Structure formats: structure tokens, C-alpha cells
């Protein structure tokens, strides 16, 4: 890896020889549009929206696929490039539904953002349009190939990151789509329902069913936290609207998962709002657990603890702490056992 | 983990043993798969079941449940006899090699093969692959620890890592995968009967002094307390008057459910603090409604020792309160003032009493995760342990002999039952089985049976059967699959209506007191012989 000096749009940049033009630009706060590129995957060079002009090069080069060289001079926004990008967008939109109003991905759609930025409202290419059936053959992931732009991100993330390879392009030419072998339902494929494809799809072609219609990206507050399931510690963004978690995503390139989750991390949140949640203290009276106030419940428990402490002694009391609770709560519970009750009878399910 | 999750991608060889990584720890699984797919890392999977990781493995060793020590000793025998050990590492950084070597010399690949059911040449090949890699990492989970020989298994893995010099460097290490979001943290925080925070022993008077002073109490007990399983035995004997359970569901997660339920019945007063009325909470005298992870501030420490923030996103439902508040309320009613129990303040107290957390603060956590040991505010954290020297000085080789599991199959109970997790569900199912979509993906429990066993027993795919051990029986559907070997059946433990732990053996590892969930003798009953078997634990 060598140090590289280059120039992008008149700005002198220092970077390293393992970077692509796209990476070097982004690291220096310069934006080159892209559609098929995503940080979690290898560069692919399919969509051509990131074409740039490199001095001395023959033709235009995809910024996502071209590694930097010393002395390189790059222009990213010439009139010709802008014209080409508009044409690419027009071509994509010539076979793309104009239902942004109800599309699940509105506000979170890379195609929509580029159409907006480049002012592409309509297109010149009248012709055949696809009208596929929306596929919702499982409880979690819905596919609408009408919205697919053939960037291949779902195919590649499933293969390169998840190592499963549920999708691949099926059919030829105009009819190409990222399909599942033999058009089987997802439930019968090796799909692990991690939703990595949902997380990378730049449009509304692959979406999560449970969060459908639950809130636009600007209507939710995102709260960064840590997944409550296994010990991996993936970072989650809980999307909250009106006191309800409506979706979970993971920040790309952050934490152990780098934006990747498993089926539990991505879709396992609704238990929080389940009607079975305990909402009041319960006390056993006449053999039955009945709702009670906090004061009565706390008093009852303290009374029994006191009785046992004064009777058989602190070691007749035992505490089970929790591998599900926070560090702070575990600390306080062992402090309660040791400092307040006076016993070391405190354990949790590390062994189970 | 001695090394970080990211670091697995640096390994040239990974031995995954007793870990169904892609289902139990899917994101660690991604790293292993990527190491294989992108960087030609050689993956060895040692596992009685055919798990997804086997598709990525260069070699799959299907050893018999409970034969890990024999397999590992066999591998180390090969490494020694072929001169593949890291002599310098052993000489400079370890002790106890001679005694260890004497035991390992007894385990020729042929002898190991006889015990573990893996061909001697396959043991040789795995040993060579592991020992000749520039860096080789070991990944393990409960398949290693949940045995009566759990400690022996772990010591054997440590032996293997030291023998090949695979500690204290990138792409190596001994990496236990912790099964729950904060099991590492709960241990770090001293939710264990023998240690305060940061593994400071309760038996050490100087440590007690420090805590007595910090907590402003005259006396802290110096005798180690009871472990979970000992508590339950104590309850059985009538020695436990009050049992206070925060956020655990032992009725599903503990071995030998019937024994446990009797124990809970015998406790005079049972308090359960949880977010649902779990199978355990139904036995309680008082139930406190607690806040979920999304309803409180705090930190979790993950499997690679990374302390990360938990943030409040929503309000708890109804009158539910966070656990800290509840604990502080109880304390104050017992005339102890815990003071401000807000999470940042409590973390400051933890940091002041815990050397490995000394540099952890909420201000710093805003910038990102901190990996302990992190002794002070200026310390960057420690993603890789034991670089240059072991924390305790010299690495100690332990001579470990193979011991069979506590319960082996016999004529009456001819099959080995092993238990574990599925990708879609989690632990006792309290959370995931309440997610409609997840329950739709995997709605019911199934026992995995090898086709040869199935044919002999006359069991067909989808048929309802009963699995019975000396301790209990459950009814469930059969899944006929070669993913389990002949003579072995597998039952996941997420399902309250057919709980695997009605069958498991509560025999404990003598040191770690961990139950032998991974090996129990069972039989399969069909048709009329199932009559009378009705598992009726309250389901969600």
C-alpha cells in the first residue's frame, strides 16, 4: 500500500493505493453518485452512474471499480457526465413504477434521490414495461421486481456477506431479475431471513413486511442501541414512531455486525409491544397471582427478605441475576445480595 | 474471546468446535464464512451434527457427543509426534508441558479414533492443518462447555492453542462465544457466587475491605455462595427461604425440569422480576413488571468484551419499571440507600471498583464501544488478550484425560440426545415465540432422527413421537435427517410445550457446575407406547 497524491474536481487529495476513486472521493467529503456500490461488498461496476472522467484515460471510468494511481486527475461533474447520468436514470425509470407516493422506500430510496438531484422527471424511452406479481411468499420479506434496477446488490450481499447465495440473475436481457432457483418460495430456499438484501436494496424492490406502512424515514426517530439477543453485540437502530418500534436496522460499517443482522436482530423486536407484557406488580393471594400496587409488592418482598435474614440468616436467601439485563442492573443486584442482604448466593445462567 | 470478532477474518485456520456458529452466533458466523470465502482460511468443524458451517469447511469431524477431549488429545498427539508444536512459545511462555506431554502421548490417533468415532487419518489431517497454519483460531460455544467434562474440554482447547503458539496474536486465540447478549457483562459485574466485579474473589480480605469501604457496610461475607444448580438443590432440601429471580426463566432453561419445579415449590417465597409472566414467574409469590432493553439506559458487554450502550427508545408499558429502580427500592426498604441509580452514575461506581472497567464511562461510550481490559480513561482498550505475556504470567498446560459423559446410551435408552439452538428462536422462546413472524417460520419443536434409526424405529418424517429419558418425556414431531448421525438425536430447547430440558441430565461439571445438556441417554416411543405421556407445562 503506497501513498497516493491525486486531484478530484480541483481538490488535491492524499490517499492510499488500495482505494478506489469512489472511496477516495467519499473519504474527502466529495460525493460521486452510485447505485450498485455498497461498502459491505466488493465493487461491481454495473450501474455506470458513477462514471467519471480521468485525465489521459480512454473513455469514462466507473469510480467504484477504478483504483487510484499517483498523479491521477479526476473530474466527476462535467456536462457530459451529467448528461450521461441523466440518460442512465431515464433508462432505469423507463421501466420503473412511478408510485413513490405509496412506495415503502420513499425517502429511503437511492434512485429517488438521484432522480430528484438530477431533475429526471420523465423519460424519452417509451416501450415495454414489466408488471411482475408482488412476491410475499413468507412472513418477512417482500419482493417487487417492478422496482428492481438490476444492481445485483441483493445477489452479492447474500453471496459475499451472508455466504448463502439465495439469489442470482434469472432470465436474459430485458427479463433479467434476481430470482430464487426454480422460482421457489423463499421458505423453501436456503434463505436465512437475515434481511441483508432488504438492508442493501437501493429501491423498494425488496422490503420488510412487518414494517410496511408503519412510518416514513422522516417520521421515525432512530435510537442506537445493542441487540438484546445473542452475545455478538450487533448495533441496532430502533426506528420509533409514536412510542412504537416500527422497524430495526443496523448502521453500516459500525460495530461487530458492520450493518449485518440475523433474523432475530432484524425482526425479533415486536415482543417489546406484546400484549402479554407485565404492566403491574402481581402478588399471590389465595393461590392466585393478582395485580397489586408497587408499594404493597415492594413491602411484601422486603418483609420476607427481612424475615429470612433475621431468621435462618442471609444464606437462606438466593438471587438469580440475569445475562439479559444490563451491566448496571447486574451490578446493583449483586450489591443488593452482598451489601444489603449479606450473602454471596448470587448467580445467573452463564452455565445454561 | 481472547481475540475480537473482526480478528477472525485474519485467521489462516479456524477450528470451530461445539459451536453451531451460523445459528447460535450468526454474525460471528459471517466472519468465519468470509474468512473462508475471501481469504482461503481453512475451516475445521468438529461437531456431531451436520451444521451449516460444514458447507464451508475444509474438514468436518463428526465426533461422538462428549468425546472432545479424546479428539483434541489425539490431534495434539499428532502435533507432538510430527514435531509441529511451537517450541519457542512453549519454552518462553508456558509451564507444565512435561506432565501434559505424558498424558497426550497416550492418545495416539488410533486410540482417539476409537473413542470419538473419527478416522485416525482425519484426526491427523486436522492436526496438521491447524498446526501448520500461520495463525489458527479456536471458536467454541456451549457444545464444549455443557458437559460434565466442560472444564476439561476448555483446558484441552487452551492446551492446543498454547502448543501451537496461537495466543496473543492476530487471527488466533481461544474464542468462547457467549450465548446471551450480556452473559459476559453479568459475569464481569460479579453476578457470580465467588467473585465481585472484575473477578475479584470474595475470599480475598483485601478485596472485601475495598468493597466494604466503597459500599459503606461493616461486613461482607467471605464464603463463596451457591451456584444456580446448588441453589435449586438447596431449595429442594428446604435450605432456601427466599429466591429472588431477575430476568431468568430456569423452568425452561435448567436441566431436569421436574426437579426444578419441585425446588421452586419448596421455596417459601419466590420473587420474579421479568417482562413476561414466564413459566418460572407462574411459580412466584410476587412478580415485578420490568422494563425491556428498549425501555432503559445501560450497557451490555458482548462476547469479545466490548462494552456498548443500550439506549432508551420508548417508555415501559403500564407501571413496569426498570430493574435498577426496583432493586434500589428493595434496598431502601431494607435500610440501605443505593443513592442515584441512573446508569451513568452506576457505571462510574463500577469503574471505580473494577480495574478492567476503570476507563469505562458514559462520556467515552458516546464515542464508541470500549473493549476491556481498559484500566484508565486514557487506555484504548484491549481487543487481543495475552500479547507477549499471559495476564497471569506463564500459560499452564493441563494434563487432561478423557472421561465419558455421565450418562451413556444402554439397552433401555439406546440413543444419545444432544440439545441446542435454532437460528430463528432464542433461548427459552420468551421473546421470539411472541414474534408472530418468527413463530410462523418455525412454529413447533421437532426431534431430529437419523434415517437409519428412523427406519429401525418405524418413524417417518412429520410423525408424532415421544422422546423419553430417565427424567421425563416429551411429545413432538420427528424430522428424519442425516444431519444427525446414527444413534444421536437432537432437540432444540426453545419450546415450552415440549421442553428439551425435561429430558436433559442435571449431572454437573465438578468445577464449573455446568449441567450436561449436550449428552443424555434417551429412547423414542411411537404409537401406543406413547400413551400416558403428556407434557403439560404452561405454554405461552
Lowest mean pLDDT among A26-30, B189-193, B332-336, B533-537: B533-537
Positive or negative: CA dihedral B428, B433, B439, B445:
positive
Q: b or e along A59-94 (b: 16 or more beta carbons within 10 Å of the residue's beta carbon)? A: ebbbbbbbebeeebebbbeeeebeeebbbbbbebbe
Rounded CA-CA distance B303/B286 in Å is 33
Q: Is B428 on the interface with A (CB under 8 A)?
A: no
Determine the residue among B182, B383, B424 to mutate to test chain A binding: the one whose Cβ has the most chain A Cβ atoms within 10 Å.
B182
Write out pLDDT tens, residues B447-501: 999 999 999 999 999 999 999 999 999 999 999 999 999 999 999 999 988 999 9
Cite the DSSP H helix spans in A202-338: 263-267, 294-310, 327-335
Q: Is B418 on the interface with A (CB under 8 A)?
A: no
The model's confidence at residue B537, banded by pLDDT at 50, 70 and 90, is: very low
Chain B residue with minimal CA distance to A188? Answer: B441
Beta bridge partners of B310: B298
Chain B residue with minimal CA distance to A255? Answer: B369
Which residues from chain B sit within 8 angstroms of residue A226, using beta carbons?
A: 181, 293, 299-300, 302, 308-310
Rounded CA-CA distance A288/A34 in Å is 62
- The predicted pLDDT at position B539 comes to 39
Topology of B183-371 in CATH?
Answer: Rossmann fold (3.40.50)
Which residues from chain B sit within 8 angstroms of residue A284, using beta carbons?
A: 284-286
Distance of residue B224 Cα from the nearest chain A Cα, in angstroms: 6
Mean local confidence (pLDDT), A155-175: 95
Rounded CA-CA distance A100/A89 in Å is 15
- In whole angstroms, how far apart are CA A173 and each of A46, A127, A167, A170, A176? 14, 15, 17, 10, 6
- The predicted pLDDT at position B540 comes to 36
Rounded CA-CA distance B315/B295 in Å is 5
The CATH code of domain A3-77 reads 3.10.20.740
Q: In angstroms, what is the C-alpha Rg of chain A? A: 27
CATH number (1.20.1070.10, 3.40.228.10, 3.50.50.60, 3.20.20.70) of B6-177 reads 3.40.228.10
Chain A residue with minimal CA distance to B230? Answer: A345
Q: Is B74 on the interface with A (CB under 8 A)?
A: no
**Average per-residue pLDDT for chain B:** 94
A238 to B350: CB separation less than 8 angstroms, yes or no:
no
Write out pLDDT tens, residues B361-414: 999 999 999 999 999 999 999 999 998 888 888 999 999 999 999 999 999 999
Is residue B538 over pLDDT 70? no
SS3 helix, strand, coil % of chain B, rounded to 5? Answer: 35, 20, 45
Phi, psi of B523 (to 5 degrees): -135, 160
The CATH code of domain B415-530 reads 2.40.40.20
Which residues from chain A sit within 8 angstroms of residue B514, using beta carbons?
A: 351-352
Cite the DSSP H helix spans in A17-165: 21-27, 79-93, 110-117, 153-156
A280 to B319: CB separation less than 8 angstroms, yes or no:
yes
Rounded CA-CA distance B422/A254 in Å is 26
Angle CA A68–A73–A74, to nearest 5? 80
Question: Could you identify the residue written with the cell 417417518?
Answer: B460
The model's confidence at residue B528, banded by pLDDT at 50, 70 and 90, is: confident
- The predicted pLDDT at position A351 comes to 73
Determine the residue among B225, B305, B426 to mutate to test chain A binding: the one whose Cβ has the most chain A Cβ atoms within 10 Å.
B225
Question: Could you identify the residue written with the cell 452455565?
Answer: A351
Question: Could you identify the residue written with the cell 456536462?
Answer: A79
Mean local confidence (pLDDT), B211-230: 95
Residues 6+ apart with CB under 8 A from B255: B501, B504, B505, B506, B515, B516, B517
Mean local confidence (pLDDT), B61-66: 95
The model's confidence at residue A122, banded by pLDDT at 50, 70 and 90, is: confident
Residues 6+ apart with CB under 8 A from B372: B188, B301, B305, B307, B356, B357, B360, B381, B382
User: Which SS3 state, helix, strand or coil, does residue A309 take?
Assistant: helix
Beta strand B505-508 with B488-492 is unpaired
Mean local confidence (pLDDT), A62-74: 96
- The predicted pLDDT at position B513 comes to 86
- The predicted pLDDT at position B535 comes to 62
Nearest to A131 by CA among A99, A108, A160, A163: A99
> What element of type H or E holds A318?
strand A317-320
Rounded CA-CA distance A247/A211 in Å is 5
Is residue A328 over pLDDT 50? yes
Mean local confidence (pLDDT), A22-29: 96
Write out the residue limits of the CATH 2.40.40.20 domain(s) in chain B: 415-530
Mean local confidence (pLDDT), A280-303: 97
Is residue A178 over pLDDT 90? yes
- The predicted pLDDT at position B478 comes to 96
- Those of residues 510-539 in B touching chain A at CB distance below 8 A are 512-515, 517
Which residues from chain A sit within 8 angstroms of residue B329, using beta carbons?
A: 294, 298
Is residue B531 over pLDDT 70? yes
Contact B289, B258 (CB under 8 A): no
Is residue B534 over pLDDT 70? no
> What element of type H or E holds B286?
strand B286-289
B28 to A234: CB separation less than 8 angstroms, yes or no:
no
A139 to B437: CB separation less than 8 angstroms, yes or no:
yes
Mean local confidence (pLDDT), A55-63: 95
User: Which SS3 state, helix, strand or coil, does residue A99 take?
Assistant: coil
Q: Is B331 on the interface with A (CB under 8 A)?
A: yes
Nearest to B25 by CA among B456, B421, B536: B421
Which residues from chain B sit within 8 angstroms of residue A309, using beta carbons?
A: 334
Determine the residue among A221, A265, A329 to mutate to test chain B binding: the one whose Cβ has the most chain B Cβ atoms within 10 Å.
A329
- The predicted pLDDT at position B428 comes to 85
**A96 secondary structure, DSSP code:** S
B5 to A226: CB separation less than 8 angstroms, yes or no:
no
Distance of residue A11 Cα from the nearest chain B Cα, in angstroms: 30
Is residue B255 over pLDDT 90? no
- In whole angstroms, how far apart are CA B133 and each of A46, A175, B15, B19, B168? 37, 47, 11, 21, 15
Write out the residue limits of the CATH 3.40.50.740 domain(s) in chain B: 183-371
> What element of type H or E holds B332?
helix B323-333
What end-to-end distance do the CA atoms of chain A give, in Å? 47
Contact B522, B423 (CB under 8 A): no
Beta strand B174-176 with A317-320 is unpaired
- The predicted pLDDT at position B199 comes to 96
Write out the residue limits of the CATH 3.40.228.10 domain(s) in chain B: 6-177
Of chain A, the percentage scoring pLDDT greater than 90 comes to 96
B27 to A234: CB separation less than 8 angstroms, yes or no:
yes
Q: How many CB atoms are located within 10 Å of the residue A273 CB?
A: 16
Mean local confidence (pLDDT), A171-191: 93
Q: Is B308 on the interface with A (CB under 8 A)?
A: yes
- The predicted pLDDT at position B321 comes to 97
Question: Could you identify the residue written with the cell 406479481?
Answer: A133
> What element of type H or E holds A244?
strand A244-249
Considering CB atoms only, which of A209, A302, A326 is closest to B296?
Answer: A326
Chain A residue with minimal CA distance to B196? Answer: A334
Domain boundaries, chain A: 3-77, 212-277, 312-351
Q: Is B120 on the interface with A (CB under 8 A)?
A: no
* Structure ipTM: 0.93
C-alpha cell at B158: 487452551
- How far, in whole angstroms, is CA A300 from its chain's centroid? 45
Contact B193, A334 (CB under 8 A): no
Q: How many CB atoms are located within 10 Å of the residue A288 CB?
A: 8
Return the CATH superfamily for domain A212-277. ADC-like domains (2.20.25.90)
Which residues from chain A sit within 8 angstroms of residue B338, using beta carbons?
A: 332, 335
Q: Number of Cβ pairs closer than 8 Å across A and B?
A: 473
Of chain B, the percentage scoring pLDDT greater than 90 comes to 89
Which residues from chain A sit within 8 angstroms of residue B33, using beta carbons?
A: 162-163
Write out pLDDT tens, residues A297-317: 999 999 999 999 999 999 999
Is residue B527 over pLDDT 90? no
- The predicted pLDDT at position B179 comes to 87
Amino acid at each position: 500500500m503506497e501513498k497516493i497524491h491525486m486531484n478530484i474536481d480541483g481538490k488535491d487529495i492524499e490517499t492510499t493505493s488500495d482505494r478506489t476513486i469512489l472511496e477516495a472521493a467519499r473519504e474527502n467529503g466529495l460525493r460521486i453518485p452510485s447505485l450498485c456500490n455498497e461498502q459491505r461488498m466488493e465493487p461491481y461496476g454495473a450501474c455506470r452512474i458513477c462514471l467519471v472522467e480521468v485525465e489521459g484515460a480512454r473513455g469514462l471510468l466507473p469510480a467504484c471499480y477504478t483504483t487510484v494511481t499517483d498523479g491521477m486527475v479526476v473530474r466527476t461533474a462535467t456536462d457530459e457526465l451529467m448528461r450521461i447520468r441523466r440518460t442512465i436514470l431515464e433508462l432505469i425509470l423507463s421501466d420503473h413504477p412511478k408510485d413513490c407516493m405509496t412506495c415503502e422506500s420513499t425517502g429511503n430510496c437511492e434512485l429517488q434521490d438521484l432522480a430528484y438531484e438530477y431533475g429526471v422527471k420523465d423519460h424519452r424511452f417509451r416501450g415495454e414495461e414489466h408488471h411482475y406479481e408482488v412476491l410475499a411468499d413468507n412472513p418477512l420479506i417482500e419482493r417487487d421486481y417492478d422496482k428492481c434496477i438490476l444492481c445485483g446488490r441483493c445477489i452479492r450481499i447474500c453471496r459475499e456477506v451472508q455466504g448463502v447465495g439465495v439469489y442470482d440473475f434469472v432470465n436474459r436481457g430485458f427479463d433479467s431479475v434476481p430470482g430464487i432457483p426454480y422460482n421457489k418460495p423463499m421458505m423453501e430456499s436456503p434463505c436465512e431471513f437475515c434481511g441483508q438484501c432488504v438492508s442493501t436494496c437501493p429501491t423498494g424492490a425488496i422490503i420488510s413486511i412487518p414494517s410496511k406502512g408503519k412510518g416514513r424515514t422522516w417520521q421515525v426517530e432512530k435510537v442506537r442501541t445493542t441487540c438484546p439477543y445473542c452475545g455478538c453485540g450487533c448495533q441496532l437502530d430502533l426506528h420509533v414512531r409514536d412510542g412504537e418500534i416500527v422497524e430495526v436496522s443496523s448502521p453500516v460499517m459500525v460495530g461487530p455486525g458492520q450493518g449485518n443482522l440475523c433474523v432475530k436482530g432484524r425482526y425479533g423486536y415486536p415482543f417489546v409491544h406484546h400484549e402479554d407484557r407485565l404492566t403491574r406488580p402481581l402478588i399471590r393471594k389465595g393461590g392466585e397471582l393478582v395485580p397489586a400496587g408497587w408499594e404493597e409488592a415492594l413491602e411484601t418482598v422486603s418483609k420476607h427478605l427481612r424475615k429470612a435474614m433475621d431468621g435462618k440468616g442471609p444464606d437462606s436467601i438466593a438471587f438469580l441475576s440475569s445475562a439479559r439485563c444490563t451491566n448496571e442492573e447486574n451490578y446493583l443486584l449483586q450489591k443488593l445480595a452482598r451489601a444489603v442482604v449479606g450473602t454471596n448466593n448470587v448467580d445467573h445462567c452463564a452455565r445454561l | 474471546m481472547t481475540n475480537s470478532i473482526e480478528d477472525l477474518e485474519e485467521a489462516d485456520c479456524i477450528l470451530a468446535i461445539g459451536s453451531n456458529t451460523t445459528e447460535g452466533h450468526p454474525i460471528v458466523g459471517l466472519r468465519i464464512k468470509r474468512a473462508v470465502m475471501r481469504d482461503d482460511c481453512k475451516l475445521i468443524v468438529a461437531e456431531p451434527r451436520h451444521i451449516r458451517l460444514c458447507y464451508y469447511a475444509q474438514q468436518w469431524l463428526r465426533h461422538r457427543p462428549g468425546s472432545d477431549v479424546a479428539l483434541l488429545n489425539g490431534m495434539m498427539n499428532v502435533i507432538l509426534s510430527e514435531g509441529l508444536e511451537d517450541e519457542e512459545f512453549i519454552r518462553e511462555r508456558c509451564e507444565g508441558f512435561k506432565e501434559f506431554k505424558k498424558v497426550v502421548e497416550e492418545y495416539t490417533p488410533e486410540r482417539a479414533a476409537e473413542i470419538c468415532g473419527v478416522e485416525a487419518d482425519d484426526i491427523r489431517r486436522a492436526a496438521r492443518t491447524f498446526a501448520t497454519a500461520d495463525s489458527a483460531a479456536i471458536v467454541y460455544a456451549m457444545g464444549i462447555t455443557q458437559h460434565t467434562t466442560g472444564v476439561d474440554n476448555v483446558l484441552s482447547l487452551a492446551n492446543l492453542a498454547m502448543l501451537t503458539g496461537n495466543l496473543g496474536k492476530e487471527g488466533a486465540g481461544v474464542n468462547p462465544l457467549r450465548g446471551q447478549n450480556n452473559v459476559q457483562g453479568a459475569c464481569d459485574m460479579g453476578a457470580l457466587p465467588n467473585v465481585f466485579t472484575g473477578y475479584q474473589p470474595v475470599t480475598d480480605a483485601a478485596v472485601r475491605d475495598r468493597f466494604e469501604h466503597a459500599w459503606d457496610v461493616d461486613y461482607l461475607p467471605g464464603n463463596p455462595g451457591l451456584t444456580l444448580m446448588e441453589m435449586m438443590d438447596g431449595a429442594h432440601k428446604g435450605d432456601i427461604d427466599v429466591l429472588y429471580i431477575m430476568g431468568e426463566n430456569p423452568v425452561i432453561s435448567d436441566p431436569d425440569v421436574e426437579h426444578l419445579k419441585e425446588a421452586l415449590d419448596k421455596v417459601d417465597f419466590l420473587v420474579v422480576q421479568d417482562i413476561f409472566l414466564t413459566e418460572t414467574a407462574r411459580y412466584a409469590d410476587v412478580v415485578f413488571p420490568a422494563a425491556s432493553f428498549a425501555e432503559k439506559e445501560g450497557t451490555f458487554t458482548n462476547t469479545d468484551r466490548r462494552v456498548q450502550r443500550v439506549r432508551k427508545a420508548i417508555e415501559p408499558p403500564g407501571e413496569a419499571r426498570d430493574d435498577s429502580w426496583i432493586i434500589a427500592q428493595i434496598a431502601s426498604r431494607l435500610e440501605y440507600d443505593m443513592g442515584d441509580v441512573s446508569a451513568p452514575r452506576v457505571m462510574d461506581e463500577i469503574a471505580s471498583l473494577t480495574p478492567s472497567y476503570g476507563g469505562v464511562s458514559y462520556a467515552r461510550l458516546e464515542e464508541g464501544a470500549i473493549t476491556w481490559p481498559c484500566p484508565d480513561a486514557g487506555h484504548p482498550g484491549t481487543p487481543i488478550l495475552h500479547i507477549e505475556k499471559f495476564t497471569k504470567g506463564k500459560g499452564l498446560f493441563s494434563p487432561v484425560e478423557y472421561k465419558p459423559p455421565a450418562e451413556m446410551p444402554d439397552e433401555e435408552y439406546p440413543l444419545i440426545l444432544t440439545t441446542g439452538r435454532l437460528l430463528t428462536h432464542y433461548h427459552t422462546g420468551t421473546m421470539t415465540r411472541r414474534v408472530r413472524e418468527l413463530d410462523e417460520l418455525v412454529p413447533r419443536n421437532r426431534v431430529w432422527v437419523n434415517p437409519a434409526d428412523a427406519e429401525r424405529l418405524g418413524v417417518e418424517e412429520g410423525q408424532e413421537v415421544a422422546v423419553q429419558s430417565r427424567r421425563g418425556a416429551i411429545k413432538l414431531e420427528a424430522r428424519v435427517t442425516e444431519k444427525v448421525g446414527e444413534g444421536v438425536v437432537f432437540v432444540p430447547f426453545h419450546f415450552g410445550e415440549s421442553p428439551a430440558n425435561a429430558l436433559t441430565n442435571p449431572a454437573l461439571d465438578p468445577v464449573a457446575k455446568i449441567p450436561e445438556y449436550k449428552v443424555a441417554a434417551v429412547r423414542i416411543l411411537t404409537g401406543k407406547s406413547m400413551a400416558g405421556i403428556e407434557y403439560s407445562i404452561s405454554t405461552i
